[in-house]
């Protein structure tokens, strides 16, 4: 058992609390990892606010980390102690019908089908003050040490800087992949991205690398526009500057709607606005933002009847175990540079300040 520090969410709507926790050794087909760096994704904030589905508290959130293997359980062959790794918030077991199907990345042996956030054997490896603490997405990166199933870990390049490549665990891979895998953006096309946070800016990078000629960034926080332009947005607009609904503005700007639209906020109204912004027949809209827990959508079915395509995208459509190491290698070869997404670097003890910066749009 290792004693270390972890950021625990004891209940909904309370700041994280840094606690000493005990981390049990990995069981068969599990790996214990020393986390070196972790990003903060809006999805972690959904957990703190209680808007992420099927979460039991207390829980250790965090799902965008990088670290070093500390020890392995029986039967683990994919990693060895001392190797650099990225925990996978969407596992790839390699054996289920989804993993065997080249067209899907949604492994069937995942926490997505579980009603509780425990390890696959329905127990926890974390205790604090005598109480079992829940895991998050099987990887809980807001802990100095954490345990995950071997289907949820990928070995990466020995030279990879962990304080940078942690972003490949969620934000960058999600946004970049939504453009190139899910939408399959074509050269010369027009794209609109609703929400220019870490994930939305990564969609901008994906659209640019796919050769889109017009990339329209949309955000109610105009401070996000400088980075969006730096990364390839050709225009940036704030819906609050217009009297008309933003979908009408986009249809006017383009004549007929964009070829690809992306919702990267997680609000039902912007999901429908993004759908209505793409071309009535050939347009594709990709839902990346996480829908609020228990929400329902209502929309005019004519929007789909005329031929639009509406798709969801989880972790950018990547088969994670196969693809995330390749994305990290691409970063080492300078094929893309998500370093620009890093706005602040803080010591672990200041994790609540990180959430304040996220909430204030900084
Ligand atoms: P973020 O908070 O950094 O960015 C959201 C952006 O949306 C902010 O810049 C904000 O100003 C802007 N915004 C808010 N309301 C708006 C409105 N009405 N119109 C225009 N812009 C608005 O969040 P993030 O970390 O980039 O994550 C974005 C979303 O993606 C979240 O819902 C997150 O849960 C989700 N997510 C999904 C996946 C996936 O696999 N599909 C993975 C990671 C994150
Ligand atoms: Zn995330
Ligand atoms: Zn699988």
* Residue 61 near ligand 1, beta carbon < 6 Å: no
- CA angle in degrees (0–180, nearest 5) for 211-274-191: 10
58 preceded by a cis bond (ω within 30 of 0): yes
Q: What is this structure's pTM?
A: 0.97
Rounded Cα distance, 126 and 128, in Å: 7
pLDDT over 70 at 29, yes or no: yes
Percent of the chain scored above 70 by pLDDT?
A: 99
pLDDT over 80 at 114, yes or no: no
Task: Report the DSSP beta bridge partners of residue 31.
Answer: 72, 148
In three-state secondary structure terms, 192 is strand
Give how far the C-alpha of residue 78 lies from the chain's centroid of Cα atoms, to the nearest Å: 23
Per-residue model confidence (pLDDT) at position 111 = 83
- CA angle in degrees (0–180, nearest 5) for 89-93-97: 115
Structural contact between residues 47 and 40, judged by C-beta atoms closer than 8 angstroms: no
* Residue 217 near ligand 1, beta carbon < 6 Å: no
Cα 59 to averaged position of ligand 3 atoms, centre (Å) = 25
* Residue 245 near ligand 1, beta carbon < 6 Å: no
Q: How many Cα neighbours within 13 Å face the side chain of 234?
A: 14
**Ligand 1 atom showing the smallest separation from residue 314 Cα:** 40
**Ligand 1 atom showing the smallest separation from residue 287 Cα:** 41
Per-residue model confidence (pLDDT) at position 292 = 86
Cross-sheet strand order for the sheet of 145-149: 145-149, 30-38, 65-72, 84-87, 153-155
* Residue 63 near ligand 1, beta carbon < 6 Å: no
Any residues with CB less than 8 A from the CB of 163 and at least 6 apart, and which? 36, 37, 66, 345
pLDDT higher for 257 or 293? Answer: 257
C-alpha dihedral sign at 81, 87, 88, 91: positive
pLDDT over 70 at 212, yes or no: yes
Task: Among 264, 295, 313, 315, say which to mutate for ligand 1: greatest number of ligand atoms within 8 Å of CB.
Answer: 264
What tens digit of pLDDT does each residue of 42-74 get?
Answer: 999 999 999 888 899 999 999 999 999 999 999
What tens digit of pLDDT does each residue of 190-210 get?
Answer: 999 999 999 999 999 999 999
Rounded Cα distance, 184 and 188, in Å: 12
End-to-end CA distance of the chain: 38
What tens digit of pLDDT does each residue of 144-183 get?
Answer: 999 999 999 999 999 999 999 999 999 999 999 999 999 9
Q: What is the b/e burial string over 277-290, where b = at least 16 CB atoms within 10 angstroms of the residue's CB?
A: bbbbeebbbbbbbb
CB atoms within 10 A of CB 62: 31
pLDDT over 70 at 95, yes or no: yes
Confidence category of residue 85, pLDDT binned at 50, 70, 90: very high
What tens digit of pLDDT does each residue of 310-327 get?
Answer: 999 999 999 999 999 999
* Residue 46 near ligand 1, beta carbon < 6 Å: yes
Q: How many Cα neighbours within 13 Å face the side chain of 9?
A: 28
Per-residue model confidence (pLDDT) at position 115 = 62
Structure tokens at 315: 């972790």
**Ligand 1 atom showing the smallest separation from residue 270 Cα:** 18
Per-residue model confidence (pLDDT) at position 54 = 85
Structural contact between residues 341 and 171, judged by C-beta atoms closer than 8 angstroms: yes
């Amino acid at each position: 058992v290792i004693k270390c520090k972890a950021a625990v969410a004891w209940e909904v709507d309370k700041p994280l609390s840094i606690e000493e926790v005990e981390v049990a050794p990995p069981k068969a087909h599990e790996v214990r990892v020393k986390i070196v760096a972790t990003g903060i994704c809006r999805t972690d904030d959904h957990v703190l606010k209680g808007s992420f589905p099927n979460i039991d508290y207390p829980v250790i959130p965090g799902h965008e980390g990088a670290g070093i293997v500390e020890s392995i359980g029986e039967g683990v062959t994919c990693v060895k102690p001392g190797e650099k790794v990225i925990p996978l918030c969407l596992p790839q077991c390699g054996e289920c019908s989804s993993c065997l199907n080249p067209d899907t990345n949604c492994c069937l042996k995942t926490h997505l089908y579980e009603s509780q956030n425990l390890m696959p054997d329905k127990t926890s490896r974390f205790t604090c003050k005598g109480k079992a603490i829940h895991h998050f997405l099987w990887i809980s990166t807001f802990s100095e040490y954490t345990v995950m199933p071997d289907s949820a870990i990928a070995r990466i390049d020995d030279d990879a800087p962990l304080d940078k490549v942690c972003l490949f665990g969620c934000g960058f891979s999600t946004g970049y992949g939504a453009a190139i895998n899910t939408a399959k953006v074509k050269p010369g096309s027009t794209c609109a991205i609703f929400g220019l946070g870490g994930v939305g800016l990564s969609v901008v990078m994906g659209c640019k690398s796919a050769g889109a000629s017009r990339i329209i960034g949309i955000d109610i926080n105009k401070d996000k526009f400088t980075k969006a332009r730096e990364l390839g947005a050709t225009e940036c607009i704030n819906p609050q500057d217009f009297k008309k609904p933003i979908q009408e503005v986009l249809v006017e700007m383009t004549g007929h709607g964009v070829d690809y639209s992306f919702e990267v906020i997680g609000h039902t109204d912007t999901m429908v606005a993004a759908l209505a912004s793409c071309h009535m027949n050939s347009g594709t809209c990709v839902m990346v933002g996480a829908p609020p827990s228990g929400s329902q959508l209502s929309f005019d079915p004519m929007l789909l009847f005329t031929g639009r395509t509406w798709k969801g995208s989880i972790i950018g459509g990547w088969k994670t175990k196969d693809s995330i190491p390749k994305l990290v290698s691409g970063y080492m070869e300078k094929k893309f540079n998500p370093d620009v997404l890093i706005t602040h670097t803080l010591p672990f003890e200041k994790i609540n300040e990180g959430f304040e910066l996220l909430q204030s749009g900084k």
